[in-house]
Amino acid sequence: MAYQSGLGNEFETEALPGTLPLGQNSPQKVAHGLVSELMSGTTFGAPRGLNRRSYLFRIRPSVQHGRFEQAGSTSFLTPPFTLPAAPLDYCWGPYKTSQASVDFLDGLVTIFGTGSPLSQTGVAFHAYSATASMRDKVFGNADGEMLIVPHVGGLHLVTEYGILDVYVGEIAVIPRGIRFRVELLDGYAGGFVCENFGMPLRLPELGLIGSNGLANATDFKIPVAAYEDHDGSVQWTHKFGGNLWNCQMDHSPLDVVAWRGSLYPYKYDLHRFVAMGTATVDHPDPSIFCLLTSPSDPILGPNFDVMAITPRWVVGDHTFLAPGFHRNCVTEFLVLLQGKFGDLELGSTTLTNGFTPHGPDARTQGALRETSPSPVKLDDQLMLLFETRFPVQVTHFARSTMPVVEDYASQWDAIPKRFGT
């Protein structure tokens, strides 16, 4: 699969030579009988470095889409939810659908969330479990950009901008409003979706780290133009205002022959992450693992941060090598993709609301306080840690149907009192 490289770059790509107009975006007549269409991901007056927009040169304009009708109830939900935000430590095992045939969209279930797309703040966290590819249907989300995290099975994402093949150990980001179809590469796919209602995700500033490290822009992959010229019934499901809306089209809307600009979907291989760590004492703050950020308040915390916990060396002089006990002003949620993290199964996720105490389990705490802090190479651990400054609410589905690890909080009960010993 061919890709372009470099998150934040301006790109231009054409599936048919001679499509892109020279020196303008809206010529009187576009080559090959196409139409020009602008897609804006930020306000027109956003600073140049943060402005996100692209011109699409497509077979039919997007206004030809039929009439919207609100879809029925679904397990793909939008906050706020009815259950109160609780100061609890949650843990769920991997979710797998019991349905014989279900695609990515119908297989989405919401676990927790905060904020609202109406106020354009917060985030929702979903699991997906799919046994079939999407057929004659596409999906677009006007409420939030979607960060897709496979934990089993690869995905073939056919978007308006081109194709992304995404495997376990990679992530994909689909900006708000971009339509796409999900096909399965391995017969079954399971994973997670973080739906970001706030500022678009971008690379964090590196500060004193300098110009290189963490996620390097060149390692992000952007699709090249690819189009479908397909006449036939296609259902477009559009998420808007917390609801799903369907319309029946007489053609595929994935018909962009060429595009140019700074708004596009992309993917990233987590194994490319350049991990940082201590060289002397004390475990550093998790901000050194920041892969992408949706900024909010610089003091209270982010709308949504993505941390990549990848294979790395762990080292420190007379230091407790694991993250210690802490109470954070932000909510944390973690997914295990590879390797070990306590007794969790691959595909498990944990959730800790702000100022709820958490830290190493009794066994880890006991072992690491006694062993010599020699350098340790974590060869296969791969996790994503997410943070938001907002308290989150879990859904009834998460409480009643998701595979809950009931005794998760008991991992700290066996920590002995050592005072005076």
Position 360 scores a pLDDT of 87
Q: How far from the centroid of its chain's Cα atoms is residue 300's Cα?
A: 22
Strands, sheet with 69-70, edge to edge from the N-terminal-most edge strand: 69-70, 243-251, 231-240, 137-141, 180-184, 155-159, 162-166
**Hey, how many other C-beta atoms are within 10 angstroms of the C-beta on 2?**
10
127: which DSSP letter?
Answer: E
For 187, the token pair is: 């017969």
- pLDDT tens-digit profile, the chain (421 residues): 899 999 999 999 999 999 999 999 999 999 999 999 999 999 999 999 999 999 999 999 999 998 999 998 789 999 999 999 999 899 999 999 988 899 999 999 999 999 999 999 999 999 999 999 999 999 999 999 999 999 999 999 999 999 999 999 999 999 999 999 999 999 999 999 999 999 999 999 999 899 899 999 999 999 999 999 999 999 999 999 999 999 999 999 999 999 999 999 999 999 999 999 888 888 888 889 999 999 999 999 999 999 999 999 988 888 888 888 899 999 999 999 999 888 899 999 999 999 999 988 888 888 888 887 788 888 889 999 999 999 999 999 999 999 988 788 888 888 899 998 7
**Which is catalytic among the residues 156, 283, 318, 396?**
283
Interatomic CA distance for residues 126 and 77, integer angstroms: 9
Which residues contact residue 270 at a Cβ distance below 8 angstroms, ignoring those fewer than 6 apart? 169, 170, 171, 291, 308, 310, 337, 382, 384
Q: Are 79 and 143 in contact (CB under 8 A)?
A: no
Residue 318 has what pLDDT?
86
3-state secondary structure at position 209: helix
Q: Which domains does the chain have, with CATH numbers?
A: 271-406 (2.60.120.10)
108 contacts 384 by C-beta, under 8 angstroms: no
Q: Let me know if 283 is a catalytic residue.
A: yes
Which residues partner with 110 through β-bridges?
Answer: 126
CA distance 256 to 233: 18
* Alpha carbon distance 110, 102 (integer Å): 16
Interval 299-320: pLDDT, tens: 999 999 999 999 999 888 888 8
**Which residue reads 């009960």 in tokens?**
413
Q: Check residue 105 and give its pLDDT.
A: 97
Beta strands in 242-371 (DSSP E): 243-251, 256-261, 266-269, 290-294, 304-309, 312-314, 331-338, 349-352
Q: What is the pLDDT of residues 15-61, one digit of tens each?
A: 999 999 999 999 999 999 999 999 999 999 999 999 999 999 999 99
Whether the Cβ atoms of residue 36 and residue 27 lie closer than 8 Å to each other: yes
State the DSSP code for 358: B
Binding residues: 326, 332, 341, 358
Q: Which residues are annotated as part of the binding site for homogentisate?
A: 341, 358
